[in-house]
Amino acid sequence: MKKSLLWILILSLSISMIGAFSLAGCKAEAEEEPAAEVEEEETVEEEPAEVAEEEVEKEQVTLKFTGWEASPLETESVEKGLEIFMSQNPNITVEYNPIPGTDYTSKILTMMMADTAPDVFFCYSYDYRSFAEDGSLLDLTDKFNEVYSIDDFIPSSATIMDTDWGIYGISSCTVSPVLYYNKAVFDEAGVEYPPSDPAEAWTWDEFADAAKKLTKVENGKTTRYGVYGLENTYQYEALLMSNGVSFWDDNNNIAKIMINTPETEEVMQAIYDLGWVDEATTFLPDQMELVGGGQAATNLLAAGNIAMLVDGSWSLQELAKMDFELGVGVLPKFKEVLTHGQAHVHAAWANTEHPDEAWKLLNFLSGDDYLLQNIRAGLWMPHRTEYYTEEGIAKWYDPEVHPEGFTDMAPYFEDALVEPWAINSNLKAKDIYLEEMSNFFTANQPIGETLSIIEERVNEELAK
C-alpha cells in the first residue's frame, strides 16, 4: 500500500516535469502506429514477443517464507518440503526463516507495519479472520476456486478458510486433541487400554476411574499422575463440545459467547475434581516439575511419570521417536464422542511483490508432495476428504509411526467440529476467557462465578 502511494506520487511529478515532451512523444507514437501495423502484416513475426515472455518466465524470484519453530522436527519437515518445491520451480528461491520463541503474532504484525513482512507465512487460525478483515492478507478467492472446491475439504478446515469476505489462506492440515498413553504403565496397573474406536469410547466416569487407578503415590509423594493436560483450554474444549456446549450464538456472525450453562459446569467441575479431589492430575506447572524434573509432558509420558496425556495430535511426531510402547485413543465422552479440529492456514501478505509465485508456493503447501510427508511423520492429519477413504489412508498411514488402531480414528478427525476460537476474530475476547479459566483452575474461583464473569466480560468485548 505504501509503495503504491509512493509510485503514484513519483509518477505525478514525472508527468509534471516532462509534460511537453510527453505530449510530443505521444503524437509521434500515434503517427508511427499505422506504419507499425503495415510492418506487422508484412512480416507476421512475433518472435521478439515470445522471447520476452520466456525471459519473464525464467526471471529469478526470491520468496520470504516464515513459520514458527514449534520443534526442530517440524522445521526439518518444512525445509524438506521446500527443497522439493524449488526443484520443481527452479526460478523461485524460498528463504525459510522460522520465528523462535513466543509472540509469533505480534512479530508478524510488527513486520507488516514496517513493510517487511514475509511473502508467505503460517497464519494462526485464531488470527486468520482478523488479518483478512483488516486487509493484511492477499485475496486468494479466484485462484482458489480455479483449483479447489471448498467441499474438497473436511468440515472443520472448510469452515476456517471460508470467510464472509472470501478465501485468504489455504488450510495446511488439521490437528485435534487425542488421548496418548503408556502401555507399560497400564499393563503394570492391570488397567485396560483406552479405546481407539470412537464407537467404544470411554465415558467420563470410566476415564476418571482409570486415571485414579493409574496414579501412584509413594511415601506421601505423587510419582505418577493418571492423566495430564486437561487444564489446557484446547483439550477441554473438546470435552465441553462432547457435552453439547456451543460456544457462540452464530458461528458465521459471532455476537455472544454461550458457555454459561449447566453442561459447561458439569464438565469443568468434573475436571477440577479429578485434580483437586481425586489428585489424579494436576493443574500446576510447579507440581508437575516436582514429579518430572521440569521435562516436557511427552518425556514424562515416555518415562512413566504420566500414564495418559491429553494433547494435540501433532505430538505423535515426537512421541513416535521415543523408546516406549505408545498407544493412542479417542477422548472420553460425556453425551457424544467427538473432538474438534483446526490448524494454521498458509497465507500470503497483501503487499507481496510476487503474488503469482506466492500462489504457486501456497498451492504446493497443500499438495501431496508437501502434505503427505508431514502426515506420515505424525505431525499432522489430512485436511481433505480424499485422504479419509481406504485408498487415501494408505497414502499416509505408517505403522512405524501410527500406533495400533490409529486408522480406526480416521472418522474422528474427518468429522471433527471446528475448534471454537479458530472462528473468532476478537483476540481480546480469548484473552479474557483464558484469564478467568486460569482463575478457576488455580485460584479457587468457583465455576459458576467464573462462567458468569466470562459471559459478562467477553460479551462486552464482542459488542465493541
Burial category of 128 from C-beta neighbours within 10 Å (exposed 0-12, middle 13-18, buried 19 and up): buried
Res 47: pLDDT: 46
Cell for 393? 489412508
209, pLDDT greater than 70:
yes
Task: For strands 216-218 and 169-171, give the pairing.
Answer: unpaired
Report the 10 Å Cβ neighbour count for 151: 9
Its pTM stands at 0.84
Do 368 and 216 contact (CB within 8 A), yes or no?
no
Mean pLDDT of all residues in the chain? 88
The predicted model gives 74-93 an average pLDDT of 94
Helices (H), 44-163: 47-57, 72-88, 104-113, 125-133, 141-147, 155-161
Region of poorest pLDDT, from 64-73, 233-242, 381-390: 64-73
**CA gyration radius for the chain?**
27
Res 288: pLDDT: 77
Res 58: pLDDT: 65
Task: For the chain, give the percent of residues with pLDDT over 90.
Answer: 79
Region of poorest pLDDT, from 13-17, 301-305, 339-343, 397-401: 13-17
Region of poorest pLDDT, from 27-41, 44-58, 146-160, 301-315: 27-41
User: Cα–Cα distance between 154 and 384 in angstroms, integer?
Assistant: 5
Angle (deg, nearest 10), helices 72-88 and 368-376: 160
* Alpha carbon separation from 423 to 62, 124, 193, 232, 343 (Å, rounded): 32, 11, 34, 19, 11
pLDDT in tens, 383-407: 999 999 999 999 999 999 999 999 9
Q: Which residue has better confidence, 1 or 197?
A: 197
Q: Which residue has better confidence, 265 or 40?
A: 265
Q: What is the DSSP string of 190-217?
A: T-PPPPSSGGGPPBHHHHHHHHHHH-EE
Instruction: Place 17 in a pLDDT band, splitting at 50, 70 and 90.
Output: very low
Task: For the chain, give the percent of residues with pLDDT over 70.
Answer: 87
User: Cα–Cα distance between 107 and 258 in angstroms, integer?
Assistant: 32
What b/e sequence results for 181-200 when a residue is b if at least 16 CB atoms lie within 10 Å of its CB, and e otherwise?
bbeebbeeeebeebbbebee
pLDDT in tens, 249-268: 998 889 999 999 999 999 99
The predicted model gives 72-82 an average pLDDT of 88
Report the 10 Å Cβ neighbour count for 203: 11
pLDDT in tens, 266-322: 999 999 999 999 999 999 887 877 786 778 999 999 999 999 999 999 999 999 999
The predicted model gives 426-441 an average pLDDT of 95
Burial category of 262 from C-beta neighbours within 10 Å (exposed 0-12, middle 13-18, buried 19 and up): exposed
Among residues 179, 259, 187, the alpha carbon closest in space to that of 436 is found at 259
23, pLDDT greater than 50:
no
pLDDT in tens, 149-181: 999 999 999 999 999 889 999 999 999 999 999
